[in-house]
Amino acid sequence: MIKVVHFITELDRGGAQMALYRLLRHADRQKFAHQVVCLYNGDKVGAQQIRQLGTPVSDLGMTAQWRLDALWRLYRLLRRERPFLLHTWMFHANIPGRVLGRLAGVPVIISAERTMGQEGRLRRALNRLTGRLPDSIICVSQQVANFAAQEIGLPPAKLSVIRNGIDLTQFDNLPDSQTARAEFDLPAQGKLIAAIGRPRPVKGYTFLLQAFAQIAPAYPDLYLIFVGDGPEKRPLQAAAAQLPDANRVLFLSDQPDIPRLLAGLDILVLPSLWEGLPNVVLEAMAAGLPVVATAVGGTPELVIHNQTGLLVPPQSPEALAQAISQLLDHPKLAAQMGQNGRQRAAAQFTIERMVQQTEALYNRLLTEKNLRQSA
């Protein structure tokens, strides 16, 4: 068996954590033996889900920014475990993982690029300086790959595009809308639009709130729901409280079962300023929901404008309001877009495809280094 160590920044909720969990859940356990290492948050929900798969999780205990002893523990772990392959996830795991992986003698190192547009000068410089150390860099979208090559300066020959995948079986037996709404204590009547994800400036939620304020008077049965906990939640709640229709803006904490929640909604809205390849859009497509999203990053690689949803420019409440209104005014069109999204997810973005592409990359790199026979 091929021993693989996955090194990730932390294991709370998040897109990278979900992608890692889905990969491990569907991985070929006859060929690969996986274990996960994180810098911190090794007791959070992501870690719990991974341990339930029978995959060991190690927390390096990086409880402060400059806990260099955590990196020493990573080096010792790699020397002790001697994996054939180190797969790093997220920026704060990529940089030390590349360096320490090479120092520890790990034969194959793969990094992941999952975002674009959020990196400052220092992060770009560190990324670029260590960018030749991994054997391959997985990018979650073509736009992320283009950004990594053109803006960060990572070697184009090392970049591989492997898009996120979705487990469609989780969306096969969802409850009807009324049952789902009752389960999550949502309004039984009216139209529900939602933004799902940790409130952060990059998510552009203030623009969605402004869009809702524009259209709320024309749709007295419309509700806006924000799902998730994060640093911008309280300011967002304060801003919502100032609206004339504040009673129709609802806030939910993190939810463990997003598919069942989606079953009670009418439209998913993603007003982000930047995205790599948003898992929540894939989930909405799998649930048969139409999507209104900003045309940033890899989102247009998921949402086909006027077919599976509507794409609008970022930072434009007016464009968001117009797109949401269009779907509210044309429910048959919205339903057809939802069905088209489900078909597109099933054809292009299955978890099986993501796992197959990832394991094919593992096998290719191991073969190139003549490691398959010695494993």
**pLDDT tens across 190-212, in order?**
999 999 999 999 999 999 999 99
Give 372's pLDDT tier (boundaries 50, 70, 90).
Answer: low
pTM of the model: 0.92
Give 231's pLDDT tier (boundaries 50, 70, 90).
Answer: confident
What structural domains does the chain harbor? 2-165+350-368 (3.40.50.2000), 168-348 (3.40.50.2000)
298 CB contacts (<8 Å, ≥6 apart)? 140, 141, 142, 143, 144, 163, 275, 276, 277, 278
Mean pLDDT over 233-252 rounds to: 97
8 Å CB contact between 161 and 141: yes
Helix (H, G, I), strand (E, B) or coil at 27: coil
> What pLDDT, in 10s, does the model give residues 86-126?
999 999 999 999 999 999 999 999 999 998 877 789 999 99
Exposure of 37 in the CB half-sphere (CA atoms within 13 A): 26
Mean pLDDT over 125-148 rounds to: 96
